[in-house]
Structure formats: structure tokens, C-alpha cells
């Protein structure tokens, strides 16, 4: 079986960082993606909101550098979550477990929260020791300690970005 998803969009809220009892960092947020199309001569836009979860060092890095509105590319796997709510009703949703991410804000660009993103250096792997101290370089992050795969370039029209 094959389960892989790639999304490009903007974060809809700030990151919520927590730590499991084992000490593993877990960061949760959501991403908004959109597509524009014409139906019966009328221009329309369809926006999709997806919850995303980061683990380990990438969770800590996401919490440090990303804010609501940050533009990001995430690659990961689709996850189906099920639970019972307070009223005993069964609930479910799909979310994405992030395996790699790439921050797409240009250098010096600010979001509404005043965040400045570091310069983007595509496909540069984070050191395997987890250190990341140079704010002038921005790697592609992975929770696996495997060599990075080349992420294909995606030609995206700025009009397709939802924000």
C-alpha cells in the first residue's frame, strides 16, 4: 500500500506544542489549501482545511519558526482518527502526519504576528544530530534520519494561494 500526501498552503493557526511522557515533541496546527476554477462562466474558489501533526525535532522547529499565515509545503501520510465525544457520539476525521516540511515564506517576509522567516535553501537536510543553529539557512525537515528525497518543483500560480 502507498499513503503519501503533499500539501502547499498557509497555516490557519499558531502551533500547539506538547511533549509526550516519553519526551517526544508533538506539534499540531492546520493548513489551508485552495483551488480556483470556473464553473458556468463564474469564477469560484474551493478551500480545504486539513489538520497536520509534526513529531520530534521537526515539531520543535515548526513551533519556533512558523506562525498563523506562514506558507509551507508538507509531505506526509494521511491518518484516520476516531474517538467518542463528550456525549458518547462517535467522531472521526482525516489528518496528515508530517514527515517532511519546507518553509516557503521569502526572506524577510512578515506575517501578521511579526515573524521573519529565514532564507530558503530547498532540499537541504537538517543535521542528523538535530542541531539547527544557522538562521541564514532553511533546511527541509524530516523526522526520519534518512537521506532527503528530491521534492519535485510545483508550479503554483499565486492566485491559487488562499490568503
Residues 70, 10 contacting (CB under 8 angstroms): yes
Tell me the C-alpha distance between 131 and 126, whole Å.
7
Here the CATH number for the domain that contains residue 90 is 2.40.50.140
Give the residue with greater pLDDT, 106 vs 60. Answer: 60
Q: What percent of the chain has pLDDT over 90?
A: 61
pLDDT confidence of residue 125: 37
- HSE-CB at 87 with a 13 A cutoff on CA atoms is 2
What are residue 75's DSSP bridge partners?
6, 100
When pLDDT is averaged across residues 3-8 and rounded to a whole number, the result is 96
When pLDDT is averaged across residues 29-35 and rounded to a whole number, the result is 95
User: CA 26 → CA 36, 62, 91, 159, distances in Å?
Assistant: 33, 10, 22, 32
pLDDT confidence of residue 138: 42
Angle value at C-alpha 9, between 104 and 53, nearest 5 degrees: 95
Residues 113, 140 contacting (CB under 8 angstroms): no
pLDDT confidence of residue 33: 95
Per-residue model confidence as pLDDT tens digits over 94-134? 999 999 999 998 765 544 443 333 333 333 333 333 434 43
User: CA 17 → CA 10, 21, 58, 62, 120, distances in Å?
Assistant: 18, 13, 11, 9, 23
Residue 62 belongs to domain spanning: 5-160
H runs (alpha helix) in 7-117: 57-65
The total domain count for the chain is 1
When pLDDT is averaged across residues 33-41 and rounded to a whole number, the result is 91
**Is the predicted pLDDT of residue 19 greater than 80, yes or no?**
yes
Amino acid at each position: 500500500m502507498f499513503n503519501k500526501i503533499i500539501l502547499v498552503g498557509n497555516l490557519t493557526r499558531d502551533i500547539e506544542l506538547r511533549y509526550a511522557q516519553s519526551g517526544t515533541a508533538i506539534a499540531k496546527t492546520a493548513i489551508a489549501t485552495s483551488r480556483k476554477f470556473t464553473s458556468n462562466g463564474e469564477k469560484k474558489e474551493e478551500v480545504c482545511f486539513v489538520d497536520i501533526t509534526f513529531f520530534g525535532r521537526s515539531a520543535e522547529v515548526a513551533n519556533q519558526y512558523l506562525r498563523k499565515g506562514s506558507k509551507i509545503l508538507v509531505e506526509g501520510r494521511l491518518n484516520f482518527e476516531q474517538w467518542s465525544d463528550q456525549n458518547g457520539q462517535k467522531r472521526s476525521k482525516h489528518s496528515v502526519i508530517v514527515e517532511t516540511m519546507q518553509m516557503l515564506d521569502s526572506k524577510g517576509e512578515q506575517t501578521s504576528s511579526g515573524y521573519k522567516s529565514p532564507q530558503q535553501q530547498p532540499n537541504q537536510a537538517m543535521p542528523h544530530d538535530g542541531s539547527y543553529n544557522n538562521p541564514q539557512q532553511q533546511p527541509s525537515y524530516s523526522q526520519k534520519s534518512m537521506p532527503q528525497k528530491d521534492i519535485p518543483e510545483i508550479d503554483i500560480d499565486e492566485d491559487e494561494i488562499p490568503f
